[in-house]
């Protein structure tokens, strides 16, 4: 249950940050903060999975 919920939350966050990045590119705005958010979500997901496997 934990992994499926974690995966769902991470997937929704990745989709949101991807859409925000695309909108920023279309509007010719800086996209760095959205890409950093996307990277942070991915790293947090990998970190939580690694910690739960390690513990």
Encode pLDDT of 23-43 as tens digits. Answer: 999 999 999 999 999 999 999
- Other beta carbons within 10 angstroms of residue 49's beta carbon come to 15
Alpha carbon distance 50, 42 (integer Å): 12
Domains in the chain, number = 1
Give the structural domain span for 41.
2-54
Reported in sequence order, the residue ranges of the chain that DSSP labels E, i.e. its strands, are none
Give 3-27 pLDDT, tens digit per residue. 889 899 999 999 999 999 999 999 9
The whole-number pLDDT of residue 55 equals 78
The per-residue pLDDT for 23 is 96
pTM: 0.81
């Amino acid at each position: 249950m934990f992994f499926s919920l974690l995966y769902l939350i991470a997937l929704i966050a990745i989709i949101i940050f991807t859409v925000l990045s695309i909108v920023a590119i279309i509007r010719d705005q800086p996209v760095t903060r959205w890409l950093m958010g996307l990277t942070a979500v991915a790293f947090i997901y990998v970190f939580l999975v690694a910690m739960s496997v390690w513990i």
